[in-house]
Amino acid sequence: MSLPGAHFPGLVKFAHFCRMAEAQENLEPMQPVSTLAETGQPQFELDFYRLQFRDPRAERMYQRDAHAESIDFIRTYFVAGTLLYLLFGALDRLLGGPAQFFLLAIRIGFVAPSLLGIYALSYHREFQRRMQLWLAMAMLVSGMGIIAMTAIMGPPFNSLYYAGLIVVASYCSSFIRLKFRYSAVISVWLFVCYQLIGLWINPIPLPIFISNDFFLGMAIIIGLFAAYIQEMYMRRAYLAQKIVEEKNFLVSEALAEAMRANKSKGEFLATMSHELRTPLNAIIGFSDIIRRELFGSIRNEKYTEYARDIHDSGAHLLAIINDILDLAKAESGKLELTEREFDLAETMRACIRMCQMRADESGVRLDVAGVQREIRIVADERLVLQIFSNLITNAIKFTTEGGAIHVQVSAHFTKGITVRISDTGIGIAPENMERVLRPFEQVEATYSRRHGGLGLGLPYAKRLTELHGGSLEIESHVGQGTCVTVRIPAWRLTRALDELESA
């Protein structure tokens, strides 16, 4: 039977880990992993009849892991089983009569030392290789001890010891992690031996013998069925665990690879600043010279028009590249703040003047409040201007004609600086709130969106705000508008407390 997940492609890598682990445990060598991949057979395929994995490597790995997981329980059950076996010696003294010496000799002189010897062997490093053999030997010795006692016990008490076989078969099949097929073979052997003893060697009255046979046979069948189900589910659970581990490994590996790729991308873009900006500045500069005809007139007006188009396109492309490179620098930790003291209110007024023309062209009203008084802070003025120009430009882009944008600035000595930019635009759906803060994300479909841009405005503004120790929050309702709140920590303020509170 091929279990769920047996054809999971990542298990080819998993086979490699099995091979390495077995080599570390000094197990016998396996066939190359490539051979397994070429056969197309699943690595974990369960044989229902033998109840083991068809692939010897998978079976060896399961036995090794089962040994490591259950050896402490096996030792505990060995000690408990030995004590239980000795405890029934009281029954020998009570019922044994003349044979009690031989009964105790079997129980105390042979079976118990054998079980304790196997227990001692469990601490040897080679025990794991032959663990199932030793466990089978423990069941066989215990059962044959009961058979021998039944053979020498005088009637009618010889008919009572079949119950010991029930205990041995149930205990060894369920607790000491003996393979099902081994416990089945030994249980059948003990049942056959009991027939020989009860019918010929030390005959038991037939009605009692038939009754004993019935209960012994039913107990063995039920015990073996329970042992079969138990081992089946243990193997299925083991396979499920390995599939989860393999998937976790592949996910972790993919995540690490993605992080490495992202880091490499960021470092590459951060180092490409000069190589990209220099030729663009040359294109813009020379096209501007041609457009303005600084070295003489151009007779054909088309050349002037083309030069203007080159200049405008180059300036637009440079602005996009600057945003990408600056964002890459910010994400890779290479964007350094050039901090100085300046008036935030004046910077906000300059930002409003820059955005006013675009707002007028879009038919959007732009209101501002809280920038009449001086608000002096220590920060990177260029990047602070970039934060608010990105946010206001973004608000203009997504506000329909006739709408309004309101910018409010407030400052407090303990609460810090709060700038709210609210609009009456299209809004953002709750399920898209995280997407708009990821670089290059656009909520609108690629082929149907009505608004341009690369999706860098909000992510870049958020990253720059965080570089200043602040935070950026978004509240939005579809069809009603969006409010972006930027908070800058109070420690960047340089004004006196009374001045801020009065502002």
What does the pLDDT look like over 378-406, one tens digit per residue?
Answer: 999 988 988 998 899 889 988 988 999 99
pLDDT of residue 114: 94
pLDDT of residue 269: 61
Number of alpha helices (DSSP H) and beta strands (DSSP E) in the chain: 16, 9
Looking at the fold, whether 144 and 243 belong to one and the same domain comes out as yes
pLDDT, average across residues 40-56: 71
pLDDT of residue 485: 94
pLDDT of residue 143: 94
Answer yes or no: is 167 within a domain.
yes
The DSSP 8-state label assigned to residue 422 in this structure reads E
pLDDT of residue 429: 85
Looking at the fold, whether 213 and 347 belong to one and the same domain comes out as no
pLDDT, average across residues 357-375: 88
Answer yes or no: is 100 within a domain.
yes
Name the one residue in this structure whose structure tokens are 């033998």.
50
Strand order in the sheet with 416-423: 365-369, 404-412, 416-423, 481-488, 471-477
| 135 contacts 81 by C-beta, under 8 angstroms | no
Looking at the fold, whether 163 and 210 belong to one and the same domain comes out as yes
Any idea what the CATH number is for the domain that residue 358 is in?
3.30.565.10
Looking at the fold, whether 308 and 277 belong to one and the same domain comes out as yes
Q: Examine the pLDDT at 28 and tell me if it is beyond 80.
A: no
Please, which pLDDT band fits residue 440 given cuts at 50, 70 and 90? low
Of 301, 332, 363, which residue constitutes the final position of a domain? 332
Looking at the fold, whether 207 and 282 belong to one and the same domain comes out as no
Q: What digits encode the pLDDT tens for the residues 252-300?
A: 888 888 887 777 666 666 566 556 667 777 777 777 777 777 777 777 7
Q: Examine the pLDDT at 439 and tell me if it is beyond 70.
A: no
Answer yes or no: is 51 within a domain.
no
pLDDT of residue 137: 95
pLDDT of residue 85: 92
| 363 contacts 326 by C-beta, under 8 angstroms | no
Answer yes or no: is 257 within a domain.
no
Please, which pLDDT band fits residue 458 given cuts at 50, 70 and 90? confident
Mean pLDDT, the chain, as a whole number? 80
Say how many domains are in the chain. 3
pLDDT of residue 408: 92
List the structure tokens of 185: 């073979």
Please, which pLDDT band fits residue 25 given cuts at 50, 70 and 90? very low
Looking at the fold, whether 231 and 357 belong to one and the same domain comes out as no
Please, which pLDDT band fits residue 2 given cuts at 50, 70 and 90? very low
pLDDT of residue 1: 39
pLDDT of residue 472: 92
| 352 contacts 407 by C-beta, under 8 angstroms | yes
Looking at the fold, whether 240 and 287 belong to one and the same domain comes out as no
Answer yes or no: is 431 within a domain.
yes
Q: What digits encode the pLDDT tens for the residues 223-258?
A: 899 888 988 888 888 888 888 888 888 888 888 888
pLDDT, average across residues 44-49: 75
Looking at the fold, whether 86 and 221 belong to one and the same domain comes out as yes
pLDDT of residue 332: 61
Q: Examine the pLDDT at 419 and tell me if it is beyond 70.
A: yes
List the structure tokens of 274: 């000069």
Looking at the fold, whether 299 and 424 belong to one and the same domain comes out as no
* Owning domain of residue 294: 273-332
Answer yes or no: is 235 within a domain.
yes
CA distance 46 to 56: 11
H or E element: which one contains 239? helix 206-271
Looking at the fold, whether 94 and 226 belong to one and the same domain comes out as yes
Answer yes or no: is 258 within a domain.
no
pLDDT of residue 16: 42
Range name among 157-171, 269-283, 308-322 with the lowest pLDDT average? 269-283
Looking at the fold, whether 372 and 490 belong to one and the same domain comes out as yes
Looking at the fold, whether 225 and 345 belong to one and the same domain comes out as no
Cβ density class 183-199: b for 16+ within 10 Å, e for less:
bbebbeebbebbeebbe
Q: Examine the pLDDT at 40 and tell me if it is beyond 50.
A: no
Answer yes or no: is 174 within a domain.
yes
pLDDT of residue 266: 62
pLDDT, average across residues 490-502: 64
